[in-house]
Each structure stands twice: as C-alpha cells, then as structure tokens.
Amino acid sequence: MEQWMPPGSADDLDQVPDGRTRWDIAMTEFFAAAVNRAQSVLPAGSHAQIVDAVHPSSTLTWSPAPIFWNGFPKVLLSKFPTVHQALVAAEKLIPFNLDGRSIKMRPQDEYLEWHTTTVQGKIKAVDFTCEGPEYWQALAHGYPDGVTPPAGAPQAAGNLDLVTALYRKFVDPAVQKSDLLDAAGHYDPWNQWNTAKGAMHLTHISNSLQAEVFLAGDATVLREKSGVVLIDADQLIRCAQYGVPERSSDPTIGSAVNGLARSGALVSLLNPVGLYIDSLDTTGWTKPDGSPVGDYWTIQRGTPDFILRARYEVPEHEGFTVSDIKIGGQPIAYAGQIAQKITMRLTGISADKNNHNTPPIACAAAASHALAVASTVPERVGSTRVPG
C-alpha cells in the first residue's frame, strides 16, 4: 500500500522501528487536520477540495504544479532600509517566546535556513537546510511532537543515537546526545547545534511541514469580497489569513493552490511532501581570477530533484574561499547573498478538474478558523504561535 514518504525520500527512518509507517501516520494526520480546517469553513453540502492524495488509494490522475519562491527572507528586505542591513540581520538568531519558553531561532523564514562557517573571518562553507523539525522529532521519538497516533498504531519509539550520529555527520563530530535534549530528555529542535553552532533543520516557528500542509489546505477555500472571487495573492492571504503576507513563500504558495482550487480540482501535495531547495543560480559568479566559478554546491541530503540539504564550499585545491567569490563584482560577505540566488520549491498536485467546485467564502467567516501565524519580524518578540 502506498505511504506518505519521508521528505526527499530520506532513508533514515529505516533505522527507526516502524519509522516509515509512523511517518505515514503523521502525514495522514496532518492532511486529515487540513481537510477538517477547510471543511469547517465551507457550507453544508460542500466538500473540501484539499484531500489526502495517498489515503485512500484512488485511480485519480494527479498533475503536478510546482510553486517557486526565493530563499532569502523577504520580510527582512522589507523591514530594513538597505540590503546590507537585511543581510546582517539574517545571520543573527532572534529570541522568541514559544508557549512560555524562551528560544532562539533563525530569522530565515522562507523554509530555507543556513549556517555559516567562517575561518579567520572568511566564509569557508555555508550549510543550507529545508528540512522541517517534525521529521527530526519523528527520528528522535517516533512521531512529530503533537501527533497523537490512532489506536493500534505503533507506539512511539525513536532513535536518538541515530539523530546524534546525523548531527555528528552533518554539523559537528563533537555533538553529544545530551546536547540535543531539553531538561525533560526530549529532543530540542532549538538545541545549540541547530542554532548557534549549526543548522541541521529548520528552526523558525513558521517553517514547519505541518504549517505548510495547513496553508495548502486553507488555500483551497475560495474567497470572495463584495461578491468578487479573490485571485490576488495579497488579497487572498489577508482574507484567509493562511500565512504571513510579507513573506515570499506563503502568498505565493497560497495563491497557486487557490488557483488549482478555482479550477474545480481536488488538490493535494506531491509525495514526498516537502519544501525543497530547487536550484542555486551562479550565473555571473566569478573566481578571484575573473573566470566563472566551478560547481561548489554539494547536495548532502535528499536527491537532485528533492534537495533537503546542500553545502556551498570551495574545494581546498582551488586556493580561495567563498568570501573570495564575487557575485556580479560584489564579494560574498554574507551567506544571505547565496540564499538570494536559491530558488525554493513546493509541488502542489491537482486532479479531476472542473468537478469539485466549492462556493467562495467571505473573509469574515474565514478569520475565526484561520491559522494564526506568529510575526516573523524580529523585534516583535512575545507573540505565540497558535497551532491550528
């Protein structure tokens, strides 16, 4: 039977008892919740257009609709008067109050986060990740936090040794298991090796797989204002409140998914669900001698079509560092300059077009059911995300 696969078809879960089954259960729960959210705002007799494309199995023919956006935080570019200030801000962890707990996270909120390794003031390497925290919680404890397995499902059991080994492989050999746990012995996504000292997976509270599935589900609900069906990405996201309007990703994803829904199709997300690094554009990047840069981009996790983690690092034999590379004549001083050239991707899928039309819903009716998403603006600390 088909299952929801782990992001990027990663095989780590093979080392966790019933790992793949549990991941499928978690994703199924995410989709069920997304369907319920959408259904709850629709009038009686209308069926939500967001569906779980895997369960139950069907003969529907799904068409992919890739959605792209830029990896550098748009909110920072909007917030700061100069690009330089935004690049500096992108590198600094920001405090956040998560349900009474003070955490530090990266301000990188486009489902792409990175950690910069510098040596003697020069950028040696930049690690980019787009893996959601849920996957790592599942590796650590069997299920993502907050997922309640149905009766009869495998009991939660993770593999913290595996998590530690992966951290040692990709972040730092010095990582100790205890470093990754909170006081209660639970895996801590905001541990030091995933914040100040490295980037194993996403940390921004808006950068979660569940949030993505909910956003897609909420966006399948057609919206109207004064009798006019909304198609404008900005109007849609403000009407439906399915994300942060100032980001690149949320309005773009929501608008694209809403477009699929407006075609009267059933809508879901491509299996394996994930927010992937699509590509890095190095057009116009030059070595110190003025010649074009080589391929210094190494995919470390995922596949070329579903990149989960990649490193940008100049091989030692080249004799220079990332900081010596120029982008259009400008030396790379911040990893954010690389992120500005990274395209992110999520793939929606649709099927059975024209046969699943639901009536548009007024904005006011939608608000009470909306996913409240915490502000991503750094200084506005104190608000707390309310999961759907």
Partner 1 sequence: MSPLSTPGPPEPALDADEIQGDSLAGFRKNHQYFLFFTIGDVPAFRRLLADLASELATLREVAEFNNLYRLVRNRRGAHRTGLSAVWKNIAFTARGLGLLTSEAAVNAFDDTAFTIGLAPRAGLLGDLPPDGGNDPTVDWKFGGTSRPVDGMLTIAADDPNALERAALETEQAWSRGGVVKVWAETCHVRPDLPGHEHFGFRDSISQPGIRGRIDRRPDNYISPRYFDVSDLRATRYARPGQRLIWPGEFILGLPRQQLPPADDLQPGTSHLSGPRWARNGSYVVIRRLTQDVAAFRAFNAAASTALLAAGANLTADRVAALIVGRWPSGAPLVRSPTTDEPSLGADDFAANDFGYESAWLDAAYTDPPVLDPKVELPPNVARIDQFPPGVPDDAGVICPHSSHLRKVNPRDQTTDQGGPDNTLHRRILRRGIPFGDPYSEASASQDRGLMFVSYQASIVDQFEFLMTSWVNSAVNPPGPPGGMDILIGGKPLAARTLVLSNENGDPYEVPIHQVATRPWVTATGGGYFFAPSISTITHLLAKTP
221 makes contact with partner 1 (CB under 8 A): no
Q: Which stretch binds partner 1 (CB under 8 A): 81-89, 216-224, 296-304, 357-365?
A: 81-89
Q: By CB under 8 A, tell whether 278 contacts partner 1.
A: yes
Give how many residues touch partner 1 by CB under 8 A: 43
Only one of the segments 78-86, 136-144, 186-194, 309-317 lies at the binding site for partner 1 (rule: CB under 8 A); that segment is 78-86
Give yes or no for residue 82 binding partner 1 (CB under 8 A): yes
Give me the count of residues in the chain.
Answer: 388
251 binds partner 1 (CB under 8 A): yes
Question: Judged by CB under 8 A, does residue 69 bind partner 1?
Answer: yes
Amino acid at 184: A
Q: Is 53 in the site for partner 1 (CB under 8 A)?
A: no
Q: Is residue 243 a contact residue for partner 1 (CB under 8 A)?
A: no
Helix axes 209-219 and 133-141, enclosed angle (nearest 10) = 130
Would you count residue 290 as binding partner 1 (CB under 8 A)?
yes
Contact assessment for residue 110 and residue 74, using Cβ atoms and an 8 Å cutoff: yes
Type of residue found at 40 = S
> Of the listed pieces 7-15, 288-296, 305-313, 364-372, which binds partner 1 according to CB under 8 A?
288-296
Report the distance separating Cα 38 and Cα 385, nearest Å.
Answer: 19
Contact call for residues 138 and 19 (beta carbons, < 8 A): yes
Question: Under the criterion CB under 8 A, does residue 248 sit at the interface with partner 1?
Answer: yes
Could you identify the residue written with the tokens 């590796």?
Answer: 139
Q: Is 277 in the site for partner 1 (CB under 8 A)?
A: no
Token pair of 143 as six digits: 């299920």
Based on the shown chain and the rule CB under 8 A, indicate whether residue 14 belongs to the binding site for partner 1.
no
CB count in 10 Å sphere of residue 365: 13
Is beta strand 361-362 parallel, antiparallel or unpaired with respect to 223-225? parallel
Distance CA 180, CA 170 (A): 14
For residue 163, state whether it binds partner 1 (rule: CB under 8 A): no
Distance of CA 83 to the CA centre of its chain: 23
Under the binding rule (CB under 8 A), the answer on residue 315 touching partner 1 is no
Residue 314 CB, nearest approach to partner 1 (Å): 17
- Note whether 258 and 239 are within 8 A (CB): no
Q: Which of 17, 149, 245, 387 binds partner 1 (CB under 8 A)?
A: 245
What is the rounded distance in angstroms from the CA atom of residue 203 to the CA atom of residue 133? Answer: 7
> What stretch of H or E contains 365?
helix 363-367
CB under 8 Å to 364, separation ≥6 — which residues? none
Least distance in angstroms from the C-beta of 231 to partner 1 = 6
343 binds partner 1 (CB under 8 A): yes
Minimum distance from residue 19 beta carbon to partner 1 (Å):
33
Residues that bind partner 1 (CB under 8 A): 65-70, 74, 78, 81-84, 228, 231-236, 238, 245, 248, 251-252, 255-256, 259, 278, 281, 283-286, 289-292, 326-330, 343
